[in-house]
Amino acid sequence: MHTFAEFVRYATMAPSGHNTQPWKFSVEKDCIRIFPDFTRALPVVDPDNRELYISIGCALENLAIAAKYAGYDPEVKYFQASEPDECLLVTLKHSKVTEDNNLFQAISRRHTNRREYNKQQIPAADLKKIESVPTEEGVTSLMLTEPGAIKEIIELVREGNRIQMNNDAFMDEITSWIRFSDSEAELHLDGLTSRAMGKSPAPGWLGRMFMRIFVGAKSQSKTDEKNMRSSSALMVVISEKNDKKIVDRCRAKL
């Protein structure tokens, strides 16, 4: 695993809003550029492209982990004015330091879980360890384990679902990114698959009809509450500003 193209492959395993994968890459002899792909923006749910920039930050994080694992020392320049197109510039030089490979192994194992957890508690010492991962300046995190605090978040999620899911434009946008059947998933290689949402695949026409009739704020909030109550902790990542360099740097905590 030494070629720059392979680092890009690991970068593309990063999480992204609605799995839009809103990034493009260019590979040169000693550097890789990551460009935001605005053709994959989500104007309804993410009108300021905040989540788009967090997503490309996640791709950057994977790329850096893969490059370090292969013996490179990545140096990142964020959105330099001298670049003709807005991008993250990652310069790669050989490094003498060998990296612990746990993070690298985690890239292909990590995925989003939208199913109920098994209620197994994560040991407090491990939660502390996650909490103490250093963040970039302007980024903080909050680990919530107390039932009272979790209840407050459940109320916020319920309110969020009520606002979003009663908005036809939101529902149309998310439906356009759902890949209901396996053949739709294979055709697009992006978006939210039925399986990733904890549902069985179905023909596209049936899935879209089901979405229109049965999916709404109430049912979503019920699922979200079940998932949150069964999880050992909730972690909230907070950026002081909505500046794109800051949101990009939230990546290390995601």
Ligand X SMILES: Cc1cc2nc3c(=O)[nH]c(=O)nc-3n(C[C@H](O)[C@H](O)[C@H](O)COP(=O)(O)O)c2cc1C
- Which residues contribute to the site for ligand X (CB under 6 A)? 15-19, 51, 54-55, 58, 111-112, 114, 192, 196
Burial class of residue 163 (count of CB atoms within 10 Å of its CB; 0-12, 13-18, 19+): exposed
Instruction: Rank residues 58 and 67 by Cβ distance to ligand X and give the closer one.
Output: 58
Residue 55 Cβ, how far from ligand X at the closest point, in Å? Answer: 5
Instruction: Rank residues 31 and 171 by Cβ distance to ligand X and give the closer one.
Output: 171
Residue 51 Cβ, how far from ligand X at the closest point, in Å? Answer: 4
Burial class of residue 17 (count of CB atoms within 10 Å of its CB; 0-12, 13-18, 19+): buried
Residue 18 Cβ, how far from ligand X at the closest point, in Å? Answer: 6
CA distances from residue 31 to 5, 63, 67, 186, 207 in whole angstroms, order as listed: 11, 11, 11, 31, 43
Q: Please, what is the end-to-end C-alpha distance for the chain in angstroms?
A: 24
Instruction: Rank residues 31 and 197 by Cβ distance to ligand X and give the closer one.
Output: 197
By beta carbon distance, the residue nearest ligand X is 15
Instruction: Rank residues 15 and 138 by Cβ distance to ligand X and give the closer one.
Output: 15
Residue 170 Cβ, how far from ligand X at the closest point, in Å? Answer: 11
Q: In the numeric block, which tokens belong to residue 184?
A: 């739709």
